[in-house]
Amino acid sequence: MPAATPSGHPLPTQIRIQIAAVAGVCRHLSTRLLPLAACLLLLLLPALVPPARAEFSGVDYTLTNQNGADFSGQDLANTSFAGAAGRQARFAGANLHGAILTQAAFPDADFSGADLSGALMDKVDFSGADFSGANLSGVIAAGSSFSGATVTDADFSDALLDRADQRLLCRDATGTNPLTGVDTRLSLGC
């Protein structure tokens, strides 16, 4: 039976090869240099390390072209997209808490299920963007355009929006955010 993680998942082949190599070195060195406990630690360490995952948190994408880019499910907390172009970019399920999107353009972008709480998103073009199930609580979005945006199940609690955008969003707002449990229309003050 192949080696497994503590949760019972089989280890990737590359890690099994590394474990075999460390075990061979340990057999050789345990009688000479390293005590058995140190060899066991070296042997088990790769199994305890979670698989690598892209980490974008805090990266600066200011004034970059992100048209069509896919950031779905990524941790982008406190990342700057100020002045960036992101037409049809995908941020579905991404963590954008505290991100800076000032003066950017994200027309037809997918923010469904994303956490945008506390984001600074003033003067941004969100026309046609999808915010279904997104958390936009506490955002500052003054001067932004949400023309044609989808906000089903979104949470706008304590968000700072222009009155015209608030009215526009209220026309089609429905549902309840699945994570916060907040009614979309109530969060918009409709």
pLDDT tens sequence across 69-125: 999 999 999 999 999 999 999 999 999 999 999 999 999 999 999 999 999 999 999
Contact, 117 vs 95, CB < 8 A? no
Q: What angle do CA 59, 62, 66 make, to 5 degrees?
A: 85
Domain boundaries, the chain: 1-52, 55-190
Contact, 129 vs 108, CB < 8 A? yes
State the virtual CA torsion across 57, 12, 29, 42 in degrees, nearest 10. 40
Q: Which residues contact 17 (CB under 8 A, 6 or more apart)?
A: none
pLDDT at site 59:
80
**Angle, in degrees to the nearest 10, between helices 13-29 and 36-48:** 170
- In eight-state DSSP terms, residue 73 is T
Q: H or E segment at 166?
A: helix 163-172
pLDDT tens sequence across 12-50: 554 454 555 545 545 554 455 455 555 444 445 444 544
pLDDT score of 63 more than 60: yes
CATH 2.160.20.80 for domain 55-190, yes or no, is yes
Q: What is the pTM of this model?
A: 0.71
Report, as an integer, the average pLDDT of 171-177.
96
Average pLDDT, the chain: 82
Task: Characterize 15-31 residue by residue with b for buried, 16 or more Cβ atoms within 10 angstroms of its Cβ, and e for exposed.
Answer: bbebbeebeeebeeeee
pLDDT at site 105:
98
